[in-house]
Amino acid sequence: MSERDETAEVLAFLEGGGLGEPVQRVDTHGAHVFLGRELAWKMKRPVRFSFMDFSTLERREVVIRRELELNRRTAPGIYRRVLPVVRRNDGSLALDGAGQAVEWLLEMVRFPPDAQLDRMAEADRLTPETVERLARRVAAFHAEAAVVRDGGGHAALAEVVAGNSADLRGLAEGTVDPVQIDRLDRLSREALEQHRHLLDRRRDEGRVRHCHGDLHLGNVVLLAGEPTPFDCLEFDPALATIDVIYDLAFLVMDLLHRGLRPHAQRALQGWLEISEDDEATALLPLCLATRAAVRAKISGLQGEPDEARRYLDLAVAMFDTKAPALVALGGVSGTGKTTVARGLAPDLGRPPGAVILRSDVIRKRLFGAAPEEKLGADAYQPEVSRRVFQRMAERAARLLGSGQAVIADGVFGDAWQRELIEAAADGEDAVFGGLWLEAPEAVLAERITRRRNDASDATVAVLQDQLRAIDRARIDWPAVDAGGNAEATLAAARKALRNGG
C-alpha cells in the first residue's frame, strides 16, 4: 500500500469512529486536527517543505513526541499523551494497543475557540491586564527555559533577516513595494551591525534559550482566567533557539499590528517587571521589524497582498527613531500616578511606548515579594528607600541608553529622590519632564481606602505622614490637578508636558 493510500485509510478510520466519538476534521499545511467533544487529536501530514519535513513515519513520531514535551512547559493541562494508530494482525486499524504503528497522534484537551487571545482581540475583549499577566508568565518561562550557547546571536538573526529579504523579493510582482523591501533590508543590516557585539554577548551570557518560538495571540488561550501559551514551534529546535527578547517581540508585534499599542506597552512592561532585562530593549526595534517581516512574507505567500504590505510597512516603521524621554510623576499616595503613567506610556517614545518604573514594584522586587504582597515596616526604612530610588535611577539610565522612553512613578517627596531621577536623564542626554500631582486630602483618603490588589502598601495614616513631611514649596515640578476623574487628570498631565513640564 502506498503512503498516500495508507494516510487516506487512517483519515477515514479516525473520522469514521476510530476515536470513539464523532469528530470534526480541520486541515492545516502541516497537520490534520480532529475536534471531539472534550478532546482534540493532531496528526502530522506526510509533507516536506524547505523549513519542515514530516515525510516519514519516523520523523512524524519524533516531532509529535517533541511537541508533547515542549508544550507541557507552558500548557501541561492541554497536552495529554501520544497515541499510535496501529495495524492489527487481521489488517484492521485500531487506536493504541497491539500492532504495528502506522501513524501517531497527539491527544489534547479541547478548549473553546473564543478563549484564544486572537479571537478575544477581534471581539474587543482582550484587556491590557490580561496581556500583562501573559507577559509576566512568559518572563517566568524564559527564566526556566533551557540555555543554548551554540545557537542564536548575531549570525542566527542575520540569517533570518537575509532570508526575509530574499523571500520578500521573491514574492509575485506587485505584492509588496520593492523600495520598502530595500529600505527594510538596509535598516535591518545597519541595526545588526550596530548590535553585533550585544547579540553575541547576550548569547554567551545565557540569554539565548529554547523559547516558544511562535508567540502570537493565536497561540495563547485563557484557561481558568490565566493566559496560557500553547502550540510552540516544535518542528525545528534551531528556529526556537533565540534571544528571549526576540521571542517576546512576536507578541508585541502582533499587538502593534492589530492597533493595540496600549496592550503592546503592557506586554513589554510585564515582561520587564519580572526579567529586569533592560538592555534587551536596545534590540527591540530590530526584533519587532524582523518578526513583522516574517509575517509580511508569509502573508504574501498566502496570497494576501494587503496584509503583506501592512506588515512590511510596520517593519520599516519599527526603525523610526525618537529621542528617549524620561517623565517623572511625583505626589503623595492616592494622587493617581500609576493611572496617569499607564495613560501616558503608550504614546511616549518609540513603539511600544515608555517603560514604567514604579517605586512600589521595585521595593517589592528587592524583598522578593509579588507586587500585591504586603510588606512590613522594615521595608520602608530610609536606607531601603534609598536603595529603591537608586535602583529606579539605574534602570532608568539603562533603558534610556537603550533608546527606550521611561516613566518614573514614585512619591519623590525628598529632594535627593528628585535629583537622582533628573540626573539619570541628564546622564543619557534624555529629555526630562517632572510633574507633581495634587488632590484634596479627602479625595486621596477615599481612593486609598478603595484600593484592591495594588502594589502600594500606603494607608490613610501613611498619607497623613506624607502630607506633614513634604515641603511643597521646595518642589519645582509643575503641579497637575489630580482631584478629578482619571481622564481629566491625564489630559492635565499631557498639557503640562506639552508646556515644558
Instruction: Show me where the domains of the chain are located.
Output: 3-110, 117-317, 325-498
Average pLDDT of span 276-298: 97
Average pLDDT over residues 5-30: 90
Task: Round to whole Å and give the CA distance between 44 and 61.
Answer: 9
DSSP letters of 161-180?
HHHHHHHHHTSPTTSS-HHH
**Mean of pLDDT over the chain:** 93
pLDDT at 3: 67
Range 403-430 average pLDDT: 96
For 109-130, the pLDDT digits (tens) are 999 989 999 999 999 999 999 9
The CATH code that applies to domain 325-498 is 3.40.50.300
CATH number attached to the domain at 117-317: 3.90.1200.10
101-105, 164-168, 440-444, range with the lowest pLDDT: 440-444
- Confidence tier at 500 by pLDDT (50, 70, 90): confident
3-class SS of residue 67: helix
- Whether pLDDT at 501 is above 80: no
Q: Which residues contact 437 (CB under 8 A, 6 or more apart)?
A: 329, 330, 331, 335, 336, 337, 340, 479, 480, 482, 489, 493
How would you classify the pairing of strands 100-109 and 79-87?
Answer: antiparallel
pTM: predicted TM-score of the whole model, two decimal places: 0.93
- pLDDT at res. 455: 77
Range with the poorest average pLDDT among 183-187, 226-230, 468-472: 468-472
Query: For the ranges 17-21, 269-273, 376-380, which has the lowest average pLDDT?
Result: 376-380
Residue 473 has pLDDT above 80, yes or no: no
Strands (E), 194-293: 208-210, 220-223, 226-229, 241-243
pLDDT confidence bin for 370, thresholds 50/70/90: confident
pLDDT surpasses 80 at 226: yes
pLDDT of 310 reads 98
- pLDDT confidence tier of residue 105, bands split at 50, 70 and 90: very high
**Quick check: 156 pLDDT over 70?**
yes
Residue 55 DSSP SS3: coil
Name the band, by pLDDT with cuts 50, 70 and 90, for residue 1. low
Model confidence at 179, pLDDT cuts 50, 70, 90, reads: very high
- Predicted local distance difference test score (pLDDT) of residue 374: 86
Minimum mean pLDDT range among 223-237, 280-294, 448-462, 467-481? 448-462
Q: Mind listing the pLDDT tens digit for each residue in 61-93?
A: 999 999 999 999 999 999 999 999 999 999 999
Distance between CA atoms of residues 131 and 137, nearest Å: 10
Report whether 397 contacts 424 (CB < 8 A).
yes
C-alpha cell at 157: 538573526
Does the structure show a pLDDT above 70 at 108? yes
Beta bridge partners of 49: 52
pLDDT at 14 over 80: yes
488-497 average pLDDT score: 95
- Whole-number percent of the chain with pLDDT over 70: 99
Average pLDDT over residues 454-476: 83
In the predicted structure, residue 307 carries a pLDDT above the cut 90: yes
> Does residue 282 surpass a pLDDT of 80?
yes
Q: How confident is the model at residue 329 (pLDDT cuts 50, 70, 90)?
A: very high
- CB burial class (10 A; 0-12, 13-18, 19+) of residue 157? buried
pLDDT, residue 208, reads 97
